[in-house]
A = this chain, B = another copy of it.
């Protein structure tokens, strides 16, 4: 398969594929002659993964590259690659400068929640700080987030993560890493979209639904009926 074939079959412009090759998101093809390279189905598969992560998952090129590199690192064994890829999935997130002290209301609430859920191991990881940042932002806006406000989120997510790990365990070993990356990233928009759809629908049915209705109904689902 030539580069142009990769482009045709994936729908990605050749210039973009060249860019991905340059950035190391896609391994080089077999250079048959000085002016022709041969690509395989594996390249196509990788290209589709990269595209999905970037376009649907909203990941940055840099973060995607980290994930790819971790997944391909031959000096690591399977679990190490797995962990490295998982770590790399968050590297695209912003890193705030302020790290609230352990005494803060935000940190107290988060720590309490994690302890209660049995997820205390993540303290000091980027994800933990994501959580603290979001809770801190809410508090600054006058929406205090104590544990009772937070608990429903953990309660919603806990069974889901069990399920997702089950799904992942159902893949053959050699597919697990790629599946983990794809499922971690691409299920995010599904979760978020369902949540917002839920908001619209729940508030519509809650506060009258016909015509000029209750609170967030009318325009919450416009152009529908």
A residues neighboring B (CB under 8 Å): 45, 48-49, 52, 55-56, 78-80, 82-84, 86-87, 89-90, 94, 114, 118-119, 121-125, 127-128, 130-131, 133-135, 137-138, 140-143, 149-150, 152-165, 167-169, 176, 179-180, 182-184, 186-204, 206, 212-225
Chain B neighbourhood of A133, CB < 8 A: 56, 189
Assess the B52–A216 pair: CB atoms within 8 A.
Answer: no
Assess the B156–A191 pair: CB atoms within 8 A.
Answer: yes
- Give Cα A67 to B97, complex, Å: 28
- Give Cα A223 to B130, complex, Å: 17
- Give Cα A187 to B195, complex, Å: 10
Taking a contact as CB atoms closer than 8 A, the residue among B121, B153, B200, B220 that contacts A224 in the complex is B121
Per DSSP, are chain A's interface residues mostly helix, strand or loop, or mixed?
helix
Taking a contact as CB atoms closer than 8 A, the residue among B79, B84, B182 that contacts A143 in the complex is B182
- Give Cα A188 to B195, complex, Å: 9
Taking a contact as CB atoms closer than 8 A, the residue among B49, B119, B134, B162 that contacts A56 in the complex is B134
- Which of A168, A182, A220 has the most chain B CB atoms closer than 10 A to its own CB? A220
- Known contacts A197-B131, A198-B160, A198-B161: does B221 contact A125 (CB below 8 Å)? yes
- Which of A45, A84, A118, A156 has the most chain B CB atoms closer than 10 A to its own CB? A156
- Give Cα A168 to B202, complex, Å: 12
Q: Which residue of B lies closest to A224 (CB)?
A: B121
Distance in Å: Cβ of A224 to nearest Cβ of chain B:
5
Q: Which 10 A-B pairs have the closest CB atoms?
A: A83-B219, A161-B198, A134-B189, A156-B160, A52-B137, A131-B193, A130-B193, A56-B137, A119-B201, A157-B194
- Give Cα A135 to B216, complex, Å: 27
Q: Which residue of B lies closest to A149 (CB)?
A: B167
Distance in Å: Cβ of A214 to nearest Cβ of chain B:
7
In the complex, 8 of the A-B residue pairs with CB atoms within 8 angstroms, ordered by the A residue number, are A83-B219, A86-B199, A119-B197, A152-B160, A153-B194, A157-B195, A164-B199, A188-B195
- Give Cα A149 to B179, complex, Å: 14
Chain B neighbourhood of A163, CB < 8 A: 152
Assess the A79–B213 pair: CB atoms within 8 A.
Answer: yes
Assess the B159–A121 pair: CB atoms within 8 A.
Answer: no
